[in-house]
Amino acid sequence: MQLFFRGQSTQLECQGSETIEAIKDRIASLESLKASEINLYAAGVPVSDDSLVSSFENTDIELTVGLPGGKVHGSLARAGMLNLILQLYGIFSSAICFLCML
């Protein structure tokens, strides 16, 4: 049987007795990812790793990969916010800098 994934251009040929965990491992090797980074959803519900592929034969499966990131330290967030404000008011940024020097 073939599985089609939204978010991935290729299709996988698989057996109905395979688990979703095995499918994640195959996708991870094809896309140079870790299997733990891959999330699969069927009808908006996360698919568990121990589910069999045969239960998703006529279902669209959505593939997502988490984005890297983390918490930004408070001072960095404030500096980023100040930078954003200055970019939004780009016309006034030179005037603000000039007034700060006075």
pLDDT surpassing 80 at residue 86: no
Q: Which residue has the higher pLDDT, 8 or 94?
A: 8
Among 19-28, 53-62, 70-79, 87-96, which stretch is predicted with the lowest mean pLDDT?
A: 87-96
The one-letter amino acid at 30: L
Alpha-helix runs per DSSP H in the chain:
20-31, 74-88, 90-101
- Residue whose C-alpha is closest to residue 21's, from 47, 58, 57, 45: 47
- Residue whose C-alpha is closest to residue 64's, from 38, 95, 92: 38
Over residues 33-60, the mean pLDDT reads: 88
Among 30-34, 56-60, 81-85, 91-95, which stretch is predicted with the lowest mean pLDDT?
A: 91-95
pTM of the prediction? 0.61
Task: Please give the pLDDT value at position 19.
Answer: 93
In angstroms, rounded to a whole number, what is the distance separating the alpha carbons of residues 2 and 101?
A: 67
Each domain of the chain, given as residue ranges in start order, spans 2-65, 70-102
Q: Is 76 helix (H, G, I), strand (E, B) or coil?
A: helix
Q: Does domain 2-65 have CATH number 3.10.20.90?
A: yes
